[in-house]
Amino acid sequence: MHTTNIIIHIITGSIALLLGLIAILSTKGDRVHNSSGRYFLGFMTVVIITGLIGVVVFGRNTFLAVITVLSGYVAFSGYRVLLFKSNQPKLLDIAVAILSILVLVHFLRYFKSIGMIWSPVIIYSTVGALAFVLTYDFLRYFIPKEKYRKHRIWLYEHIYKMMSAFAGLLSAFSGTVLEAYKPHSQYLPSVLGLLIAFSFMYYAYRYGLKRLPK
């Protein structure tokens, strides 16, 4: 069962990476982008489930739980913000955020008990990225709803979160395949993902907002 779970995890993760790459390279908002994005989320769901099964059921690397939760949460939140284009609090969003916080707290307690056995740059960057997104997602409820929609803050959220999900998945993939090059093979994909995300966000601010539907 463990081997089967790993195989499903690897196959779906590889397909999700390919679909994410198609979504990144395609014209934003067109049929290819929307379709590949939806399938990316579908395969990401399977990756997250199998990853959590590997950690919880088979007792694999606990650190993978944080990477899985990070990628899963930003993908979930990135989809939800595009779906509603609003910062109106919703019970499901709050519940998933609280669950992610509990996983993060458990991870920090776990590391405190066993000591720093992985590269600090990976631990701090991963935990920090998840904490940053979770903190923002609670603070965004205080942004006036009219301003949130008028300035299309949801668009920047969607870009950042979906790119973070892709970068997290790529980091897990390259960190596993290129194990000899750790920690560089783990954090460099995330750095690249952030650069691409900020580039898209700037483009959307500078050129794209007026062409997007209200």
Identify the pLDDT of residue 213.
41
Per the structure block, which two tokens stand in for 192?
Answer: 């690249």
Domain ranges of the chain: 1-60, 61-211
Identify the pLDDT of residue 175.
80
Per the structure block, which two tokens stand in for 194?
Answer: 């952030």
Tokens 């993060």 locate to 104
Identify the pLDDT of residue 80.
94
Identify the pLDDT of residue 211.
46
CB 67 within 8 A of CB 43: no
Identify the pLDDT of residue 154.
93
Identify the pLDDT of residue 77.
94
CB 194 within 8 A of CB 163: yes
Which backbone phi and psi does 144 adopt, to 5 degrees? -55, 130
Task: Give the C-alpha separation, 44 to 32, whole Å.
Answer: 18
Task: Give the C-alpha separation, 107 to 213, whole Å.
Answer: 41
Identify the pLDDT of residue 174.
87
- Which residues, at least 6 apart from 129, have a Cβ–Cβ distance to it below 8 Å? 70, 164, 190
Compute CA distances 147 → 93, 106, 134, 151, 202, whole Å. Answer: 20, 36, 21, 6, 19
**Tens-digit pLDDT string for the chain (214 aa):** 888 988 998 899 999 999 999 999 988 888 899 999 999 999 999 988 888 888 777 766 666 667 777 888 999 999 999 999 999 999 999 999 998 888 888 777 776 666 555 567 777 788 888 889 999 999 999 999 999 988 889 999 999 999 999 998 888 888 878 878 887 888 888 899 999 999 999 888 887 654 444 4
Identify the pLDDT of residue 51.
82
Which backbone phi and psi does 31 adopt, to 5 degrees? -65, -40
Per the structure block, which two tokens stand in for 118?
Answer: 């992985």
